[in-house]
Chain A
Amino acid sequence: MKPEPTIFVVDDDAAVRRAIASAGRLLGRPVKPFASAADFLATFDSSQPGCLVLDLKMPGMTGIELQQQLVNEGVALPIVVVSGHADVRIAVDVMTRGAITVLEKPFRLEELLAQLRKALEQDAKHRREAAAQAEANAKLAGLTAKEREVLEAIAAGKTNKEIAEDLGLSLRAVEDRRARLMKKVEARTVAELVQVLNRR
């Protein structure tokens, strides 16, 4: 069901593209090479997990412009930048926009593989977190306003008795609401409850 993480390669130089593609296949992942940023954008789907190896200097849309567009569209695909002339300014520029690293051509195979692994891991972690967050939000959305009130108080570290006093409820009513919300959020302990809250 879930698409397989794919290594995308965008470089206008055919020889470099072929070499990076061969290197990427060593990781046992599918590799999709593109000769230009436009070609890549034409087929790319942001739900597709993976990472992107991106050359900066290309005719047409440059690597920096492509990265900017992906950032603007909220695509968090990790990018490994490869460049022939990575001056500090450009490196800082692309790193602040979230690139994994900047590899200066020519680079070692091991270096590329390590950065690709790191990028794929980051993407996987990011997607796991995003999924957990979506789950937490869905759970919290099912709470009533009153249950939410109690939840905030629990998270703030208050005891049932304190909550009862604050909200002007009986201790019994607080315990009831607490049990209901714990069930809805699927948390067995307070620690688990707080975790869900933090993921939101």
Chain B
Amino acid sequence: MQRHHESNPPPRTVDHRPTYGALALIALVFGVDLLVPLGVAAAVPYTFAVLLALQSPLRWFALAAAALCGALTLVKMEVMPDRGTTEMWKVIANRCLALFAIGMTTLLGIRRRQSETRRSQAEVTVREQLADLARLGRLNTAGQLAAGLAHELNQPLSAVCLQAELAERLAAEGADSRSLVPALAEIAEQSHRAAEIVRGLRRMLRHDGPATADVNLNEVAGSVVRLLDSHAHRAKVELRMEHGSIPLVEADRVQLEQVVFNLVQNAVEAAAETSGLRRVTIATALEGGYVRVAVEDSGRGIPPGDEDRIFERFYSTKPDGMGMGLAISRSIVEAHGGRIRAERLPEGGSRLAFSVPAVQRTDT
């Protein structure tokens, strides 16, 4: 999500062409007005000048240009008192009409610009909120994982505690130091196992920018399966993994992990709702230069016609769902140059699959 956020910086290039254009147009119209009496017709090019001035990056410039146009319209009357046969009141009425046209253009233009500014600010806010929600979603996911991870950490920790006390006891009894080797080796191995679990958690929680690397989606899917295994088991859902022979993809591993996690978690929840077969299958495959990860469940399936809607924000079929998981997943997949699709399976259940471009290797 952050990738998405960062790729749309507010436009910072300052373009002063409208400013100069407006000034040039005003000068030209005034010049022509001096040579040929334009009368009220001068208001038309003046309003164009004001419209141009509204495009200027200088916010006060539109007002200044309007004031200038108005002043020049009046000045023209002083400089060119020779009005031919036209009556004075007609001249004044013409000039007032011209001033009115310029004034209205300026007023409407400024109001419109204000509402545009408000809208673009609102867009920025929404985008920021979405990025926050994405992080929140990840933290929430991590929270759900914490319980599972606590159990996972407990296993090596239990083994380490017991083995250490066993070794201590053996040593205290004056045992041959070689007899301590199995216990000590076990302590070292289990400590590494615990450290690996902690590393996994840290990867999950990290929220520095996207880090792209060559990622093996089989490994990503495997680690998600391990994380959700106990959850699936509690829900009495069978989790199956079908490893395809796939090349690497260039991606942010944590983000893709989150996508697979979302898909598998949804699938497990969907499968858990049925009384029949409760199975979730995760399959990886190479398809025309794209690595495809498909998650199939034996649940009730997506409501017909909602295959695209499920990726919309705040769409959820779960009573306590936020409707963010799949929306976030889609933006992650799209940011990786891939696509995500959902479909109902004819035999019941759904298949959600995403594909991301495989790394092209020419040196093989």
Residue ranges of A at the interface with B (Cβ–Cβ < 8 Å): 13, 15-16, 18-20, 22-23, 26, 57, 59, 82, 84-85, 105-110, 112
Contact = CB atoms under 8 A, between A and B. Distances in A.
Given A15-B193, A22-B183, A109-B169, A84 B162 contact: no
B166 A19 contact: yes
Interface string B152-190: 001111111111011001000000000000110010011
Interface centre among A19, A82, A110 (most CB of B within 10 A): A19
Nearest to B233: A59
Contact of A16 (B155, B183, B229, B233): B155
A138 to B, nearest CB: 45
Contacts of B161: 106-109
Given A57-B230, A85-B151, A107 B158 contact: yes
A103 B163 CA distance: 17
Task: Give the dominant DSSP class at B's interface.
Answer: helix
A49 to B, nearest CB: 24
A177 B160 CA distance: 67
A110 B162 CA distance: 9
A19 B159 contact: yes
Given A15-B190, A19-B186, A57-B230, A109 B162 contact: yes
Contacts of A106: 154, 157-158, 160-162
B163 A19 contact: yes
Contacts of B183: 22
B166 A22 contact: yes
B150 interface: yes
Contacts of B155: 13, 15-16, 84, 105
21 contacts: A13-B155, A15-B156, A16-B158, A16-B159, A16-B162, A18-B159, A18-B186, A19-B159, A19-B186, A22-B183, A57-B230, A85-B151, A85-B154, A105-B155, A106-B160, A106-B161, A107-B162, A108-B161, A109-B162, A110-B165, A112-B162
B9 to A, nearest CB: 47
Given A15-B155, A15-B186, A108 B150 contact: no
Given A85-B147, A106-B157, 20 more contacts: A13-B155, A15-B186, A18-B159, A19-B163, A19-B166, A19-B186, A22-B182, A23-B162, A23-B166, A57-B151, A59-B229, A59-B233, A85-B154, A105-B155, A105-B158, A106-B154, A106-B158, A106-B161, A108-B165, A109-B166
A89 B361 CA distance: 56
Interface centre among B154, B156, B229 (most CB of A within 10 A): B154
A109 to B, nearest CB: 4
B144 to A, nearest CB: 15
Contacts of A22: 162-163, 166, 182-183
A151 B182 CA distance: 63
B178 to A, nearest CB: 16
A105 B190 CA distance: 15
Contact of A84 (B154, B182, B229): B154
B169 A26 contact: yes
A85 B233 CA distance: 16
A20 B169 contact: no
Contact of B162 (A20, A57, A59, A85): A20
A85 B166 CA distance: 24
A19 B230 contact: no
B164 to A, nearest CB: 9
Contacts of A112: 162
Contacts of A59: 229, 233
Contacts of A108: 161, 165
Contacts of B166: 19, 22-23, 26, 109
Nearest to B229: A59
A84 B358 CA distance: 41
Nearest to A13: B155
The 6 closest A-B pairs by CB, nearest first: A109-B165, A19-B162, A15-B159, A106-B158, A84-B154, A105-B158
A16 B166 CA distance: 13
Interface in B328-361: none
B84 to A, nearest CB: 100
Contacts of A13: 155, 159
Contacts of A82: 158
A112 to B, nearest CB: 7
Interface string B189-232: 11001000000000000000000000000000000000001100
Nearest to A84: B154
Nearest to B168: A109
A59 B239 CA distance: 12
Contacts of B190: 15
A15 to B, nearest CB: 4
A20 B193 CA distance: 18
Nearest to B147: A85
Contacts of B159: 13, 15-16, 18-19
Contacts of B163: 19, 22
B135 to A, nearest CB: 28
A57 B159 CA distance: 16
Contacts of B233: 59
